[in-house]
């Protein structure tokens, strides 16, 4: 009697044996008839008992035994994904929770691949694997990363990762905020990051990241740069990074970012004040000689000369005290103008009464005194106060709420022209009030130098 031919579904599959031998999970095979509806298990691995708590024979006899183990909240998703896979005959893969026969709930990954036979029957070779521990470890890692990120961001640091191979950048919400991006901004890559670096600092930042490729065993790097974010304006960011390499290839770069704008501004203000002290020491004798000469020309006697000169030098010392002050309560703008300008001959300044009652913060007064001293010094050396007939007119004008506008206008002096290149004085004019919300606009008119100075009131 001839032996009946083996059907394809009856032939042992190497994968079934390997899966069982290596404990990869439970191999199974489902036969779906050509109508696409009728189906049944035709093979279930012996590991079914250990995995699900029921023997393979029970599932072969009634496949619902296995399907009924799927938790109710996962059944609809599973059925929809399975129906779509069978309709399109594409590979199927899903992660679900199932309740074993003994009541224990476990996570499982169910995946299968179709083989279509000549008669239209589809055989789905699949594997059911317990991934509970994998899911638990992944969740623990996510929790650890979340806690680490919260701890890092509690210190004001932003956290980031860069995968050079996939050109994928991951930024924490704090890191995005530092660059003026919303929390849901994405996707990010290294090119997008470079777009957020201030153009003047871009070559420096690019050079640092290119240098990471030459690190044989990885290492650390730091770079400080300004941002050019769409919402944040210009900020100074200090970035620390660590390069992780494997077999000479950069696998990952991780690091932190912190906003150091305030520190940079303090350093710039300190450098400005220190530079001003050096600048004052350098041209102090020139200014004093000009004051002495002007005093001598207007003095009627030696006693008059000595008295006026002493008074002016004393006022100059008081102005220096005001300039170097860093705190204190609000001061009257009119008083500050008088103290700052008296050393240069207050009679040669026409100060409009519009400043009466206006107060400014102590730090603003110091910065404004520095600015006025610089403009008065320049006027004595080059501008309206360098000749007997010259005058400086200081008037106020309409200003936005909470702000003050002061106009400095020199007349009667020699023709003035812009300096050939910006010097220390120009830097003072540009930056002295910036940290306090003030600004200065200068102009070299035919009749003399002018400046529009705007700054906030106190309170």
Provide the pLDDT confidence category of residue 280 given band limits of 50, 70 and 90. low
> Measuring CA to CA, how many Å separate 51 from each of 19, 108, 139, 147, 447?
13, 10, 22, 34, 96
**Mean pLDDT: which of 91-105, 189-203, 269-283, 429-443 is highest?**
91-105
Read off the tokens for 233.
């304006």
Closest CA to 103 of 63, 71, 57: 71
State yes or no: pLDDT of 359 exceeds 80: yes
Q: What is the mean pLDDT of the chain?
A: 82
Better pLDDT: 458 or 275:
458
How far apart are alpha carbons 11 and 22 in whole angstroms?
A: 20
Provide the pLDDT confidence category of residue 2 given band limits of 50, 70 and 90. very low
Can you give the pLDDT at residue 1? Answer: 31
Can you give the pLDDT at residue 6? Answer: 43
- Please say whether the beta carbons of 169 and 160 come within 8 A: yes
- Please say whether the beta carbons of 94 and 87 come within 8 A: no
Better pLDDT: 278 or 232:
278
Can you give the pLDDT at residue 326? Answer: 43
Provide the pLDDT confidence category of residue 281 given band limits of 50, 70 and 90. low
Question: pTM for this one?
Answer: 0.40
Looking up tokens 């189906």 gives 39
**Mean pLDDT: which of 101-115, 356-370, 418-432 is highest?**
101-115
Share of the chain above pLDDT 70, in %: 81
Better pLDDT: 278 or 443:
443
State yes or no: pLDDT of 328 exceeds 70: no
What average pLDDT does this structure show over 355-376? 79
Can you give the pLDDT at residue 250? Answer: 82
- The packing angle between helices 261-298 and 362-381, to 10°, is 50
What average pLDDT does this structure show over 296-309? 70
State yes or no: pLDDT of 436 exceeds 90: no
Provide the pLDDT confidence category of residue 276 given band limits of 50, 70 and 90. low
Looking up tokens 């050939």 gives 420
> For the segment 32-63, what is each residue's pLDDT rounded down to a tens digit?
998 878 889 999 999 999 999 999 999 999 99
Read off the tokens for 167.
């050109």
């Amino acid at each position: 009697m001839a032996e009946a031919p083996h059907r394809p579904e009856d032939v042992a599959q190497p994968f079934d044996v390997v899966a069982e031998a290596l404990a990869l999970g439970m191999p199974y095979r489902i036969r779906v008839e050509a109508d696409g509806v009728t189906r049944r298990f035709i093979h279930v691995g012996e590991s079914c008992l250990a995995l699900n708590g029921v023997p393979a024979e029970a599932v072969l006899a009634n496949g619902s035994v296995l399907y009924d183990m799927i938790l109710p909240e996962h059944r609809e998703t599973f059925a929809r994904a399975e129906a779509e896979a069978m309709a399109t005959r594409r590979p199927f893969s899903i992660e679900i929770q199932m309740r074993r026969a003994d009541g224990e709930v476990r996570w499982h990954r169910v995946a299968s691949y179709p083989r279509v036979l000549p008669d239209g029957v589809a055989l789905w070779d699949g594997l059911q694997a317990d991934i509970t521990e994998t899911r638990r470890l992944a969740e623990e890692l996510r929790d650890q990363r979340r806690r680490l990120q919260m701890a890092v961001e509690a210190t004001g640091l932003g956290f980031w990762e860069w995968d050079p191979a996939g050109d994928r950048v991951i930024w924490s919400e704090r890191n995005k905020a530092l660059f003026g991006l919303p929390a849901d901004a994405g996707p990010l890559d290294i090119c997008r990051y470079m777009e957020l670096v201030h153009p003047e600092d871009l070559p420096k930042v690019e050079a640092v990241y290119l240098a990471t490729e030459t690190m044989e065993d990885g290492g650390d790097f730091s770079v400080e740069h300004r941002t050019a974010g769409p919402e944040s304006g210009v900020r100074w960011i200090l970035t620390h990074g660590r390069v992780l390499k494997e077999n000479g290839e950069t696998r990952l770069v991780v690091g932190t970012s912190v906003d150091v704008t305030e520190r940079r501004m303090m350093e710039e203000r300190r450098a400005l004040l220190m530079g001003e002290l050096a600048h004052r020491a350098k041209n102090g004798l020139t200014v004093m000689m000009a004051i002495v000469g002007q005093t001598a020309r207007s003095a009627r006697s030696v006693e008059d000369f000595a008295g006026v000169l002493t008074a002016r030098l004393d006022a100059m010392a008081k102005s220096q005290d005001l300039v170097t002050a860093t705190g204190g309560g609000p001061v009257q703008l009119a008083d500050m103008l008088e103290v700052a300008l008296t050393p240069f001959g207050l009679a040669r300044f026409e100060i409009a009464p519009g400043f009466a009652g206006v107060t400014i913060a102590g730090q603003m007064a110091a910065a404004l005194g520095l600015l006025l001293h610089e403009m008065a010094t320049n006027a004595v050396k080059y501008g309206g106060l360098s000749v007997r007939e010259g005058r400086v007119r200081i008037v106020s004008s309409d200003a936005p709420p909470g702000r003050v506008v002061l106009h400095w206008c020199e007349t009667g002096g020699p023709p003035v022209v812009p300096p050939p290149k910006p010097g220390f004085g120009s830097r003072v004019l540009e930056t002295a009030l910036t940290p306090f919300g003030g600004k200065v606009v200068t102009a070299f008119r035919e009749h003399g130098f002018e400046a529009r100075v705007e700054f906030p009131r106190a309170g």
